[in-house]
Amino acid sequence: MSSITIKEILRQQVPLLQVLSGDLAILESRVLLCFVLKCTRADLIVDPNRTLSPEQEKHYRDLIQLRLQGQPIAKIIGEKEFWGLPFKVTKDTLDPRPDTEILIETVLESVDKSKSNRILDLGTGTGCVLLSLLHELKKSFGVGVDLSQEALNVAEENACNLCLNDRAVFLQSNWGEKLEGKFDIIVSNPPYITQADYDVLSAQVRDYDPKLALVGGEDGLECYKKIAPIIDKHLEPNGFFAIEFGINQESMVSQILNENNLHVLEIRKDLAGILRCIKGRHGD
């Protein structure tokens, strides 16, 4: 019968994860243990001598092995935090990245929070961008569009879990094909990785995130060429958009936007100081 404590099992498992995760090993080991014990990280610190049942110990060691095989933490526990909110993730969705929070910051700094805005999220995935905005903008409503019905099912579940399903609608569509109406705010984090870069991605990304959500054609710009005319068509005259792009794509994406009657107002950096987000409006 197991009598191993929290403190002891962490002492055993952290060194194993350090080979794969380096400085993140302590955090990852605690996240997995919290998932098994259904507790918070604070609970681990407050009660380090708590013992695990044999079932809990086996479950934890099994999860550690999955991580050592390269499976991302979010895919193991089925959840990823974004903008301080919990989002369900599956094999059919891209894990939300901290880089993408620049979209939320850009919108919130540009919008009147007291007004009711209609928000469109192109390529919504888990719904993390749209739902984070609706969480902050209490009077606003939004539509999330995605080609993947499996991803939309996850987004709808996230909306329910966050009690935002009364203000969020999800539409299965190949970008704007089934879209109607105009919006005050349009956001998007489209696939922008080139095929060549995808081929050399780490297995932790390539093997567990859907290719559909990652690759933007041979040059990584295919989706922007489809999104730009949709923004031009569906953006209110006084509205604005915020879209994410990949490293060193700002000039090419800006050109695509300009060719579609869209004016770049600002190019912003993410948390790592990398240019990551374009804010714009209709051209003059």
pLDDT for position 1: 54
Split at pLDDT 50, 70, 90, the class of 283 is confident
Q: Going by C-beta distance under 8 Å and a sequence separation of 6 or more, which residues neighbour residue 85?
A: 128, 131, 132, 135, 162
> What pairing do the DSSP bridges indicate for beta strands 118-122 and 85-88?
unpaired
Task: Give pLDDT tens digits for 74-98.
Answer: 999 999 999 999 999 999 999 999 9
Task: Give pLDDT tens digits for 186-204.
Answer: 999 999 999 999 999 888 8
Query: Residue 277's beta-bridge partner residues?
Result: 244, 268
Say how far apart CA 201 and CA 129 lie, in whole Å: 24
Amino acid present at 64: I
What sign has the CA pseudo-torsion 77, 80, 86, 92?
A: negative
Task: Give pLDDT tens digits for 213-269.
Answer: 999 999 999 999 999 999 999 999 999 999 999 999 999 999 999 999 999 999 999
